[in-house]
Structure 1
Amino acid sequence: MNTVEISLLVLLALSLAVYRQTRTRPAARMTGTLVTAAALVVLGFTSGGLFDTGQPALSLALFAVEAVAAVALGAWRASSVRVWLDDAGIAWAKATVWTLLAWLVSIATRVGLYFVGTAVGLSVSTGGALLFLGLTLGTQAYLVARRGRALTGDRILSKGDA
């Protein structure tokens, strides 16, 4: 994928994610969002250019910072999502104003890390944006679903339960 295609995919995925989060949706199961997040991570890795072979240590350090930031920001956004039970005992979730603010901080962080990479002389790729979005979206979806399951008493079956 070229830079324009990746940028459009990131904007589309981000817009869809934020739009869906502003709508009331079941909280205990977020399988679709997790699959989308996993696909974004895979596309981020397969698009190439995540690491600058000319400066591998610096490139790996920036990659680690981006991954940690993506997970931390996803956890922050997940904590800002309203999760509640209705009268039928179904867990629901909906983004709050704080969630939208956290999305803005997430975007600014990713843009800032991109510019840090270019400022220190790394050749950075837009595939990193796919990876960042996949990690942060997956973290948020997993934690919101976990909160929803905690409210309903559901749990994920392990291999021994089947």
Structure 2
Amino acid sequence: MSGFVDALVIVVVAAAVIARQFRARRIDGERRWWILPVILVAFALREPVMLDAHHHTASALLFGAELLVGLATGAGWAWTTRIWAEPDGTVWSRSSTASAAVWAVGIGLRVGLFALGTAVGVRQDSSALLLGLAGTLLVRAAILARRGQSLRPGASLSGAYGDGATRPVGRECA
């Protein structure tokens, strides 16, 4: 039953997060963007054994690959998300068509990893997938928060020339 519950959680969270991101959303530095990833990590870590005891090395490699795919998907998703600042200083984001492509590639890679694991006889549970999804959400939120800070009025530019200067507020094309 745990596998079914995990699969249901993964599908519901992914569908909700993806659907929400294709609408304009305010990036708020005070939001607790890390809460959902922490909940997913806690949900994944409730499993007593994450690696297949009979295929320890292959299982660990697949687990690591899943985490890397999750982190790369989160970074790709964040960098393909369009962000802009309104005249009142609020920063907004909305995923782009390229973001959908990043998700499609990420899902394809995850399916490929599962198929590879099945082909070599590795028992796989949903812990790696949950941790990968948590990594995706955490990396995306962190990068967007960082990108959003650079668009806020009064944000200083990094570098020697113009220290203390502010970046003009306007729409960013991504």
Question: Do both share a fold (TM > 0.5)?
Answer: yes
Percent of aligned pairs with the same amino acid: 29
Report the counterpart of residue 66 of structure 1 in structure 2: 66
Q: Distance in 2 between matches of 1:16 and 1:84?
A: 23
Q: Give the counterpart letter for 2:136 in structure 1.
A: T
Asked if the contact 2:80–2:96 (Cα under 8 Å) also holds between the matched residues in 1, the reply is yes
**TM-score, normalised to structure 2's length?**
0.81
Report the counterpart of residue 157 of structure 1 in structure 2: none
Root mean square deviation, CA, Å: 1.8
- Give 5+ residue unaligned stretches, structure 2: 157-174
Instruction: Tell me the CA shift for residue 106 of structure 1.
Output: 1.3
Structure 1 residue runs of 4 or more that deviate by more than 4 Å after TM superposition:
none
Higher share in helix: 1
Asked if the contact 1:49–1:124 (Cα under 8 Å) also holds between the matched residues in 2, the reply is no
Deviations 1:120-162 (A, max 9, x none): 11100022221111111111111111111121129xxxxxxxx
Instruction: Tell me the CA shift for residue 28 of structure 1.
Output: 4.1
Q: Give the counterpart letter for 2:54 in structure 1.
A: G
Report the counterpart of residue 46 of structure 1 in structure 2: 46
Q: Distance in 2 between matches of 1:64 and 1:38?
A: 18
Asked if the contact 1:48–1:127 (Cα under 8 Å) also holds between the matched residues in 2, the reply is no
Q: 1:97 to 1:82 in 2, by over 3 A?
A: same
Report the counterpart of residue 140 of structure 2 in structure 1: 140
Q: Distance in 2 between matches of 1:83 and 1:32?
A: 19
Instruction: Tell me the CA shift for residue 45 of structure 1.
Output: 2.1
Report the counterpart of residue 82 of structure 2 in structure 1: 82
Q: 1:29 to 1:16 in 2, by over 3 A?
A: farther
- Give 5+ residue unaligned stretches, structure 1: 155-162
Q: Distance in 2 between matches of 1:3 and 1:127?
A: 10
Asked if the contact 2:81–2:95 (Cα under 8 Å) also holds between the matched residues in 1, the reply is yes
**TM-score, normalised to structure 1's length?**
0.87
Report the counterpart of residue 125 of structure 2 in structure 1: 125
Question: Relative CO higher for 1 or 2, CA cutoff 8 Å, sep ≥ 6?
Answer: 1
Larger Rg: 2
Q: Give the counterpart letter for 1:67 in structure 2.
A: L
Aligned residues: 154
Q: Give the counterpart letter for 2:128 in structure 1.
A: G
Q: 1:100 to 1:48 in 2, by over 3 A?
A: farther
